[in-house]
Structure 1
Amino acid sequence: MAKLNVNPTRMELSNLKRRLVTAKRGHKLLKDKQDELMRKFIELIKRNKELRVEVEKELSGSFKDFLIASAVMSPQMLEEAVAFPNEKINVDITMKNIMSVYVPIMNFKREMRNEDEGSIYPYGYAQTSSELDDAILKLYNIFTKLLELAEVEKSCQLMADEIEKTRRRVNALEYRTIPDLEVTIKYIRMKLDENERSTITRLMKVKDIINK
């Protein structure tokens, strides 16, 4: 706590009182914001953990099938089979405001490259193994979860940054600004009371002199 360098006048006292009211109101609003951000952040962290476990499990299965396919197929045949994907995929990103934090909302935009819109496999079945089919199918099905995981992890990062900024503001108000204002207001009141007592004493002396 430190007294602000201001003149001990009634006008300054009024200004400091208004600043103190504003600081306390701002502290309450920021504290409420911090609590709500923490609540949403914890929800996102839980969702992130669930998604990561699911994604890692399904990716592991897809990689195992792909390794088996690599073992039974020649490298040249495997490369030719997956060289030209049957579908073009882009990511559409929009933003959503959560407690003044703009988090991404990601969605796939899919576009089939050929007329066979019912198939995700960019090859015929004659020279490929069923393990390759399984690997591609599992990877295709996990794309949505992978995108959601990326969305949630980025949201967690942005919200963590905002929580830290809000925490610093709350602490600055709680431990610096508000105590400094209160100390300064108390000091000005004491000075004004002291000046008032001095004025009354002088007036009483002048009155005694006049009476004599």
Structure 2
Amino acid sequence: MASTQITPTRMELTRTKKKLATARRGHKLLKDKRDELMRQFLDLARENMELRQKVEAGILSANKNFVIARAGMDAATLNTALMAPKQEVNLEVGKKNVMSVNIPVFESKTRTADANDIYSYGFAFTSSDLDGAVKSLADILPDMLKLAETEKACQLMAAEIEKTRRRVNALEHVIIPEAQETIKYITMKLDENERSSQIRLMKVKDMMLEDAHHYSERA
């Protein structure tokens, strides 16, 4: 119901109609944004699922190789081999704007370009299983970073979808109906005032005609 505190004037009616038109435009834009966010979110969710399966499979394979390597080497040799890493990975974090959502973009760079720098040990006293485990972890690193990127993107987009959904619902179920009710209320009041004015004018006219008639009879 429209608030009884609203002043039923033509200026207020014009202002409320403008508010309603703006709310309807905003509602359409937010619905389009919500739908596009949902589409991109579903694409990201599918990509995230594929990456997670790939990363989990890679980590499982690396763990198996480490278990085999540990079985074929004594603990002291294994710990010494992995004690001082030779390669270094630097992570740069950027941002990408998708439908007003700042999605992180990860880019990794190694300290050197030599692929063999991932091995921090000599090959004389270590097993090939350890080489395979280290190589499998190095190979899965880009996918791990991409997985972290997509998971964070999914979280941010899900939060934006929920916020947009609440705004759409507020416009659709609260603001637009209230504006429509207000317009209806003001229009009804203005019509009542106009009818009352017409009735008063008709009564004044009748009184004037009656006075004129009595005046003519006395004359």
TM over 0.5: yes
Secondary structure of 2:84's aligned partner: coil
Which deviations, in whole Å up to 9, do the C-alpha atoms of 1:23-45 show, x marking residues without a partner? 00000000000000000000000
- Give me the whole-angstrom Cα distance separating, in 1, the residues matched to 2:75 and 2:38: 50
| Structure 1 segment 161-176 matched on structure 2, within 5 A | 161-176=159-174
Aligned partner of 2:175 in structure 1 is 177
Which deviations, in whole Å up to 9, do the C-alpha atoms of 1:85-133 show, x marking residues without a partner? 1211111000000000000000102103xxx934121111111011100
- Give me the whole-angstrom Cα distance separating, in 1, the residues matched to 2:79 and 2:16: 74
Aligned partner of 1:3 in structure 2 is 2
Structure 1's 74 and 7: CA in aligned 2 closer, same or farther, altered over 3 A?
Answer: same
Which deviations, in whole Å up to 9, do the C-alpha atoms of 1:145-166 show, x marking residues without a partner? 0000000000000000000000
TM-score, length basis structure 2: 0.93
Secondary structure of 1:87's aligned partner: coil
TM-score, length basis structure 1: 0.96
Aligned partner of 2:89 in structure 1 is 89
- Give me the whole-angstrom Cα distance separating, in 1, the residues matched to 2:92 and 2:198: 76
Aligned partner of 1:133 in structure 2 is 131
- Give me the whole-angstrom Cα distance separating, in 2, the residues matched to 1:177 and 1:139: 54
Secondary structure of 1:128's aligned partner: coil
Secondary structure of 1:92's aligned partner: strand
Alpha carbon RMSD of aligned pairs, Å? Answer: 1.0
Q: Aligned pair count?
A: 208
Secondary structure of 2:121's aligned partner: coil
Secondary structure of 2:89's aligned partner: strand
Which deviations, in whole Å up to 9, do the C-alpha atoms of 1:154-203 show, x marking residues without a partner? 00000000000000000000000000000010010000000000000000
- Give me the whole-angstrom Cα distance separating, in 2, the residues matched to 1:76 and 1:169: 61
- Give me the whole-angstrom Cα distance separating, in 2, the residues matched to 1:49 and 1:117: 32
- Give me the whole-angstrom Cα distance separating, in 1, the residues matched to 2:91 and 2:56: 21
Give 2:109's aligned amino acid: K
Give 1:148's aligned amino acid: K
- Give me the whole-angstrom Cα distance separating, in 1, the residues matched to 2:72 and 2:142: 29
Aligned partner of 1:195 in structure 2 is 193
Aligned partner of 2:103 in structure 1 is 103
Aligned partner of 1:145 in structure 2 is 143
- Give me the whole-angstrom Cα distance separating, in 2, the residues matched to 1:207 and 1:145: 89
Alignment pair present for 1:117 and 2:114:
yes
Aligned partner of 1:34 in structure 2 is 34
Give 2:114's aligned amino acid: E
Could you tell me which of 200, 204, 207 is aligned with 2:205?
207
- Give me the whole-angstrom Cα distance separating, in 2, the residues matched to 1:93 and 1:201: 75
- Give me the whole-angstrom Cα distance separating, in 2, the residues matched to 1:159 and 1:3: 36
Give 2:39's aligned amino acid: R
Deviation, structure 1 residue 47: 0.1
| Structure exhibiting the larger radius of gyration computed from Cα positions | 2
Q: Which runs of 5+ in 1 are unaligned?
A: none
- Give me the whole-angstrom Cα distance separating, in 2, the residues matched to 1:130 and 1:171: 61
